[in-house]
Structure 1
Amino acid sequence: MTTLSLEQYLAGHGTQNDLAKALGIQQSAVSQMLRAKRDIRITIHDDGQIQASEVRPIPARKSAA
């Protein structure tokens, strides 16, 4: 199992379109993740399955204080 940032994955493992197909999402969603500089981690499992998750602080939203 290997875990890479979204940027690292795209630099060495394929295109936005390839990743989108593997995750079952639209290419535009991958593009938006990149442009927003979200902390997305791509996990490549030993069987070749690809999974994505986002690292976010808790609480994720700032409260109105």
Structure 2
Amino acid sequence: MKTVTLGEYLATHGTQSDLAKALEIQQSAVSQMHRSGRNINITLMDDGSLSAYEIKPIPARNQLLKPIHPPRTSVA
């Protein structure tokens, strides 16, 4: 089993179309993932199969978003 980044995989192992077929997704999805610079890793299994996963920071949302419910203030 070996893990490589999406960019490394495309540079050394195959085309976007080949990867899309192996992952059962559209080629346009692979293109979008590659162009956006997302942290996608491809795992090459010993039996020749592939899997892919994305590593994201937690929380994935922008920290500057306002809370859904503003804090309550006490009334004196």
Q: TM-score, normalised by structure 2?
A: 0.82
Count of aligned residue pairs for this structure pair: 65
User: SS state of the match for residue 58, structure 1?
Assistant: coil
Summarize deviations over 1:1-39 as a string: whole Å, max 9, x none. Answer: 000000000000000000000000000000000111000
Moved over 6 A (4+): none
Q: Tell me which of the two structures has the higher relative contact order, counting C-alpha pairs closer than 8 angstroms and 6 or more residues apart.
A: 1
Identify the residue that residue 13 of structure 1 maps to in structure 2. 13
RMSD: 0.8
Distance 1:61 1:49 in 2: 32
Within the alignment, does 1:24 sit opposite 2:21 as a pair?
A: no
Identify the residue that residue 62 of structure 2 maps to in structure 1. 62
Identify the residue that residue 46 of structure 1 maps to in structure 2. 46
Residue 50 of structure 1 aligns with an amino acid whose one-letter code is L
In the TM superposition, residue 62 of structure 1 has moved relative to its aligned partner by 1.3
**Unaligned regions of 5+ residues in structure 1, if any?**
none
Summarize deviations over 1:42-63 as a string: whole Å, max 9, x none. Answer: 0001111100000001111113
| Percent identity (aligned) | 62
